[in-house]
């Protein structure tokens, strides 16, 4: 069988990652024949490399070349198509965690949402985009390491307990501050959104933003491809005031506000089980009203029993995080 006929037969094969045929997408990038070895040399582009899809695609191609067309050898190179991305792959939901000021618990909230999702069997990644206040690697107790790159120069996230993470921390020396500014910082952060090879089954990526409405925050917000924001505030009106500004900045840049979380809402007095409003009250509601969004939850003060910063389901805060996850999934899956 000659190469034209082989090409025709290959053209009917379906790329399992985007359900289109090789012919439709004109994905044969190179085809030649080594007479001496009776070997076909092929370069084919596929929608998305990796996982079961790539294995199946390789098997199908080998079957056509070696069994149907009876060539002895096959040298196959697969590359990722720049145009025909995967369509069977559901798009990843990016959930940004933002706040007006630092110290309100943004990173704790980001980490615990990811942790609970993962515990429920949802594949989740986190981007630590709080460039100068990076704390997610510490919260997840991930020792400093440099990420690796795959053959397509995509960043491979660092994985801990099934959660994949990318952080500026991994691109600096241990203990050293991030000294990038302007364009360099922008290009680094845009790699976090466009050039990370997340696990094939990833459904959610939680992004821990820098606080406030400064240049960097706005730059990062304009880099994030799509995504919805959760605003974190404390109960005190001074925190709420700036949280509303941060929320409006996101809206102006085209990001929806998924809802508001009030953190450090109250302290449960161990003596009489009363809720003590030691940081004031009303902040969460005020932000929700100001942004015309829902108040998703009020999280009390409290330290985790089992880990440094992460709560389990047998703790009050763990249960609240579980409800927050219910809310995120419901809203995301129904696109509300």
Positions that interact with ligand ADP (CB under 6 A): 99, 102-108, 135, 263-264, 299, 301-302, 309
Which residues lie closer than 8 Å to 252 by C-beta, 6 or more apart? Answer: none
Which residues lie closer than 8 Å to 260 by C-beta, 6 or more apart? Answer: 230, 231, 232, 233, 243, 247, 284, 287, 288, 291, 293, 294, 295, 296
Strand intervals (E) in 60-213? 73-80, 93-99, 124-128, 148-149, 155-156, 158-160, 163-167, 204-208
* Residue (18 or 263) nearer to ligand ADP, CB: 263
* Residue (25 or 112) nearer to Mg ion, CB: 112
Binding at 290: pick from ligand ADP, Mg ion, none (beta carbon under 5-8 Å per type): none
Binding at 302: pick from Mg ion, ligand ADP, none (beta carbon under 5-8 Å per type): ligand ADP
Smallest distance from Mg ion to CB 136, Å: 8
- The binder of Mg ion chosen from 81, 99, 107, 263 (CB under 5 A): 107
* Residue (102 or 280) nearer to ligand ADP, CB: 102
Count of residues that bind Mg ion according to CB under 5 A:
5
Smallest distance from ligand ADP to CB 279, Å: 10
Smallest distance from Mg ion to CB 300, Å: 19
Subset of 114-143 contacting Mg ion (CB under 5 A): 130, 133, 135
- Bridge partners of 327? none
Binding at 177: pick from ligand ADP, Mg ion, none (beta carbon under 5-8 Å per type): none
Q: What is residue 113's three-state secondary structure?
A: helix
Torsion angles phi and psi, residue 44, rounded to 5: -130, 140
* Residue (16 or 318) nearer to ligand ADP, CB: 318
Query: CA separation (Å) from 274 to 2, 3, 119?
Result: 82, 79, 30
Binding at 231: pick from Mg ion, ligand ADP, none (beta carbon under 5-8 Å per type): none
Burial zone of 199 (CB within 10 Å; 0-12 exposed, 13-18 middle, 19+ buried): middle
* Residue (51 or 102) nearer to ligand ADP, CB: 102
Half-sphere exposure of 24 (CA within 13 A, CB side): 12
Smallest distance from ligand ADP to CB 100, Å: 10
Torsion angles phi and psi, residue 95, rounded to 5: -115, 110
Residues near Mg ion, by CB under 5 A: 106-107, 130, 133, 135
């Amino acid at each position: 069988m000659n190469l034209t006929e082989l090409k025709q037969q290959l053209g009917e094969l379906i790329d399992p990652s985007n359900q289109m045929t090789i012919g439709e997408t004109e994905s044969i990038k190179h085809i030649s024949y080594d007479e001496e070895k009776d070997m076909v040399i092929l370069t084919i582009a596929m929608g998305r490399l990796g996982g079961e899809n790539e294995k199946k695609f390789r098997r199908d191609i080998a079957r056509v070349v070696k069994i149907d067309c009876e060539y002895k050898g096959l040298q196959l190179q697969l590359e990722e198509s720049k145009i025909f991305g995967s369509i069977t792959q559901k798009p990843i939901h990016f959930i940004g965690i933002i706040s007006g000021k630092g110290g309100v618990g943004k990173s704790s909230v980001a980490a615990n949402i990811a942790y609970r999702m993962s515990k429920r069997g949802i594949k989740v990644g986190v981007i630590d985009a709080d460039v100068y206040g990076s704390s997610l690697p510490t919260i997840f107790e991930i020792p400093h390491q440099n990420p690796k790159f795959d053959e397509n120069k995509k960043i491979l996230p660092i994985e801990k307990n099934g959660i994949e993470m990318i952080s500026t921390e991994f691109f600096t020396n241990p203990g050293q501050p991030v000294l990038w500014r302007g364009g360099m910082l922008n290009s680094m952060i845009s790699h976090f959104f466009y050039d990370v090879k997340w696990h094939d089954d990833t459904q959610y990526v939680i992004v821990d933003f820098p606080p406030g409405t400064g240049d960097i925050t706005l730059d990062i917000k304009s880099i994030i491809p799509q995504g919805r924001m959760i605003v974190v505030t404390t109960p005190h009106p001074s925190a709420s005031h700036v949280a509303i500004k941060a929320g409006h900045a996101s809206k102006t840049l085209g990001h929806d506000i998924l809802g508001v979380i009030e953190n450090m809402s109250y302290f449960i007095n161990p003596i009489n089980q009363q809720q003590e409003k030691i940081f004031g009250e009303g902040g969460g509601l005020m932000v929700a009203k100001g942004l015309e969004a829902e108040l998703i939850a009020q999280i009390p003060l409290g330290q985790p029993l089992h880990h440094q910063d992460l709560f389990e389901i047998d703790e009050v805060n763990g249960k609240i995080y579980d409800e927050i996850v219910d809310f995120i999934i419901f809203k995301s899956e129904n696109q509300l």
